[in-house]
């Protein structure tokens, strides 16, 4: 009887451990040759229109990890992506307010930072609040994945000025769905959907 109880207790302990580890994701380790295709759709964007900070053009973008760098591949043309580009919100090129590991369900982070007001040299203080809301099954064009649902809100002078909702999949090592909407003085949006993931074994 004691052996049975011990076995049952061990089983409960293992289930608890699996549940805990299932609620956490570590930073991804990318492999040479892994590729993703993302569909980008931006509307009414009034920020940077050129340079590394510019929003990606509407359409499909093939991004590969080659030579320890992220490159956008268009036929024979390969362009290195800057870690300052918006793609850093989708793939983990370096730590940002959006992708900061480990991801833990229930985790909340608040950060203060300064950013330049568009069209001026004036700096504005902002507050970013990120919450990992839970685990959610998401179907993108690439397939169905178990993801971490994350919401980030930005506050400018006490007013909400932007909201991001995105779903990170440890399986694809990327965000599989991403939605940004401006909430102050603009109707800008940016949506990203994972179309294809080509892993390397």
CA–CA dist 23, 2 (Å, integer): 32
pLDDT band at 12 (very low <50, low <70, confident <90, very high): very low
Query: What separation in angstroms does the CA of 128 have from each of 73, 96, 157, 178, 188?
Result: 32, 11, 12, 17, 18
pTM: 0.84
Average pLDDT, the chain: 87
Alpha helices by DSSP H, listed for the chain, are 2-22
pLDDT band at 24 (very low <50, low <70, confident <90, very high): very high
Domains of the chain, start order? 30-198 (2.40.360)
**Paired tokens of 184:** 């102050």
Q: Answer yes or no: is pLDDT of 7 > 60.
A: no
pLDDT band at 148 (very low <50, low <70, confident <90, very high): very high
* Confidence at residue 145, expressed as pLDDT on a 0 to 100 scale: 97
Distant-in-sequence, close-in-space partners of 111: CB < 8 Å, separation ≥ 6: 97, 127, 128
Report the pLDDT averaged over residues 161-169. Answer: 96
Across the strands, what pairs with 182? Answer: 162
pLDDT band at 119 (very low <50, low <70, confident <90, very high): low
* Confidence at residue 121, expressed as pLDDT on a 0 to 100 scale: 77
């Amino acid at each position: 009887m004691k052996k049975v109880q011990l076995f049952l207790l061990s089983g409960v302990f293992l289930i608890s451990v699996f549940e805990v580890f299932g609620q956490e994701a570590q930073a991804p380790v990318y492999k040479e040759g892994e590729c993703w295709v993302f569909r980008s759709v931006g509307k009414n964007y009034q920020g940077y229109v050129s340079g590394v900070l510019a929003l990606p053009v509407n359409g499909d973008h093939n991004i590969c990890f080659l030579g320890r760098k992220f490159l956008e591949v268009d036929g024979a043309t390969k362009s290195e992506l800057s870690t300052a580009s918006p793609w850093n919100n989708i793939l983990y090129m370096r730590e940002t307010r959006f992708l900061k590991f480990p991801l833990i369900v229930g985790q909340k982070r608040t950060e203060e930072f300064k950013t330049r007001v568009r069209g001026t040299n004036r700096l504005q203080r902002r507050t970013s609040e990120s919450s990992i809301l839970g685990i959610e099954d998401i179907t993108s064009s690439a397939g169905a994945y178990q993801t971490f649902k994350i919401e980030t809100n930005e506050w400018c002078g006490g007013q909400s000025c932007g909201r991001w909702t995105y779903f990170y999949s440890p399986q694809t090592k990327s965000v599989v769905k991403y939605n940004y909407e401006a909430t102050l003085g603009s109707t800008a949006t940016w949506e990203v959907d994972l179309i294809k993931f080509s892993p390397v074994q």
